[in-house]
């Protein structure tokens, strides 16, 4: 079996996804075959593999860091919350069912042997598996059926390194409380502690580190600094750190509506790295103003998010911004919101069976049970665009809209069908293609169109491709990790993870 190590956190957004990605890149640089693994992920940021399987984006960027193709085995269970009570349960890339929290908790024992078998498959094919937990292992109300934290560590016979976020405050209490709430057998699985997001002089932590080591018996093996490394974020909690006001030093103002059930906000990462673009996330009508480009992103519950826009007055703010010169774009659920009407007679998304859209596109969307999950290649004019689709709904165009693009392949198979819609004057458009802005040449043409509308000269496309940019960031992340973690201790933890089959 492969060697393994599991990174668990004292809380969500502690940075365990980045730490796992960093170690994946370090091991790749050593020439090892390494893969990430997170048995259960709850996130609205997802990705479609080349075979049409859906998985969490955190394991996608960890796979990129490891230099391997994303594989749904790396994230066998994905939970996508659709309401405060219910989630869509996706197993090995495909929808199993919609379940509430209690039903899913009762169902987890049925998933456990399948998760174990999937993990064993990956472990048999690779030198190292880098596992990630979810939330905190000290969720004592759920631990009896856990399949993602200590329950998974037990199945994988994997040592655990606890990642603690000092930026939240109370880091030593979080470390101590997390460890001491666990049963003794699980406490003994924790072999190291990494303190993350530290600002300042690490010498100030030395006495505290010594005390927590004495109190818990677990060594602090690293203190990672707060950095400017720019990678995809998994958790929507990360949106709280996103820019809320325009960066006045940038020529173009792009405003993204921060929907309650926003999904795939990583669609806009490639805009954030453009030299002339300020991307900000807007939750309130008074914040919107008149951006150069206004984007309504994807949503896991389009009808409820549209209803919320109306309740907060953001719907009228969007219409005013368009009237005063903003280009308006919609991605996936945002595209549906821009239409004349949303119909959900079977209550696929919510109990709202019919609702007027914003009316900026001449389209009607009807939701249905069939979920489309494909990688897609499209043509818009002479340009070829790559992206992926994740949606439950069919959109029909009226006479005052025409297709945004033509899909020419789905999951590598030839096809010929329309995607999206664009208004007659070109100021409003929508598409089902996630990752549309990752197409650097097309994105620069669009941005230059916005520049010219303001009387600015177009920019020559000198920015790195998103993939090249990410590679730089993964290398930078790995170097930061090696510079601030006791690698000899981590190597010892990893080496001790292999056990004899008889002991298993």
The set of catalytic residues is: 332, 434
At 232, list the tokens.
């995809």
Residue 13 CB neighbour total at 10 angstroms: 20
Closest CA to 299 of 88, 24, 135: 88
Integer CA distances (angstroms), 489 to 163, 248, 494, in order: 15, 46, 9
Measured between alpha carbons, how far is 59 from 374 in angstroms, rounded to an integer?
18
Q: Are 372 and 423 in contact (CB under 8 A)?
A: no
Q: How far apart are CA 77 and CA 111, in angstroms?
A: 9
User: For the CA atoms of the chain, what is the radius of gyration?
Assistant: 23
Q: What are the two backbone dihedrals, phi and then psi, of residue 103, each rounded to the nearest 5 degrees?
A: -60, -40
State the SS3 of 343-404: ECCCCCCCCCCEEECCCCCCEEEECCCCCEEEEEEEEECCEEEEEEEEECCEEEECCCEECC
- CA atoms of 465 and 442, how far apart (whole Å): 12
Cβ atoms 299, 271 nearer than 8 A: no
What's the order of all strands across the beta sheet hosting 372-380? 383-391, 372-380, 405-410, 413-419
CB 63 within 8 A of CB 69: yes
Residue whose structure tokens are 């929808």: 95
Token pair belonging to 297: 């992103």
Q: What are phi and psi of 496, to 5 degrees?
A: -80, 0
Residue with tokens 């899913």: 104
Tokens of 262: 């926003």
**Tokens 């519950």 correspond to what residue?**
301
Nearest-10 Cα torsion for 256, 261, 263, 269:
30
């Amino acid at each position: 079996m492969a060697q393994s190590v599991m990174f668990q956190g004292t809380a969500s957004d502690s940075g365990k996804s980045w730490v796992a990605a960093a170690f994946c890149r370090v091991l790749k640089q050593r020439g090892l075959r390494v893969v990430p693994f997170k048995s259960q992920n709850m996130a609205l940021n997802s990705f479609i593999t080349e075979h049409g399987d859906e998985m969490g984006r955190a394991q996608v960027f960890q796979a990129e860091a490891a230099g391997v193709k994303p594989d749904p085995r790396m994230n066998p269970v994905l939970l996508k919350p659709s309401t405060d009570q219910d989630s869509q349960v996706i197993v090995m890339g495909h929808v199993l069912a919609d379940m509430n929290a209690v039903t899913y908790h009762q169902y987890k024992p049925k998933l456990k042997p399948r998760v174990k078998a999937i993990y064993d498959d990956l472990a048999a094919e690779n030198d190292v598996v880098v596992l990630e937990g979810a939330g905190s292992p000290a969720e004592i109300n759920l631990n009896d059926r856990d399949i993602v934290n200590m329950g998974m560590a037990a199945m994988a016979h994997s040592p655990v390194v606890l990642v603690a976020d000092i930026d939240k405050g109370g880091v030593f209490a979080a470390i101590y409380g997390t460890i001491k709430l666990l049963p003794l057998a699980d406490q003994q699985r924790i072999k190291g502690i990494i303190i993350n997001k530290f600002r300042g002089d690490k010498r100030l932590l030395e006495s505290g580190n010594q005390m927590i080591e004495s109190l818990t018996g677990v060594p602090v093996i690293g203190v990672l600094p707060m950095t400017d490394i720019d990678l995809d974020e998994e958790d929507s909690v990360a949106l709280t750190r996103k820019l809320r006001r325009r960066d006045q030093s940038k020529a173009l103002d792009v405003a993204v509506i921060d929907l309650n059930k926003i999904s795939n906000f990583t669609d806009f990462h490639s805009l954030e790295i453009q030299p002339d673009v300020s991307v900000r996330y807007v939750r309130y009508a008074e914040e919107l103003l008149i951006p150069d480009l206004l984007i309504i992103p994807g949503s896991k519950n389009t009808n409820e998010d549209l209803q919320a826009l109306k309740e907060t007055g953001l719907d009228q703010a969007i219409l005013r911004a368009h009237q005063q010169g903003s280009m308006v774009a919609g991605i996936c659920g945002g595209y549906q919101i821009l239409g004349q009407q949303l119909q959900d007679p079977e209550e696929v998304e919510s109990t709202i069976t019919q609702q007027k859209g914003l009316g900026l596109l001449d389209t009607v969307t009807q939701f249905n049970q069939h979920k489309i999950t494909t990688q897609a290649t499209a043509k818009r004019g002479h340009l070829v665009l790559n992206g992926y689709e994740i949606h439950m709904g069919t959109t029909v165009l009226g006479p005052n809209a025409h297709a945004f693009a033509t899909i020419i392949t789905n999951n590598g198979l030839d096809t010929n069908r329309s995607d999206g819609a664009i208004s007659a004057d070109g100021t409003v458009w929508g598409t089902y293609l996630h990752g549309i802005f990752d197409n650097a040449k097309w994105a620069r043409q669009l941005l230059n169109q916005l520049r010219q509308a303001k009387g600015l000269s177009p920019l020559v496309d000198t920015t790195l491709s998103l993939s090249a940019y990410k590679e730089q960031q993964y290398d930078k992340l790995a170097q930061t990790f090696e510079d601030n973690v006791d690698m000899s201790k981590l190597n010892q933890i990893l080496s001790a993870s292999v056990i004899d089959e008889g002991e298993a």
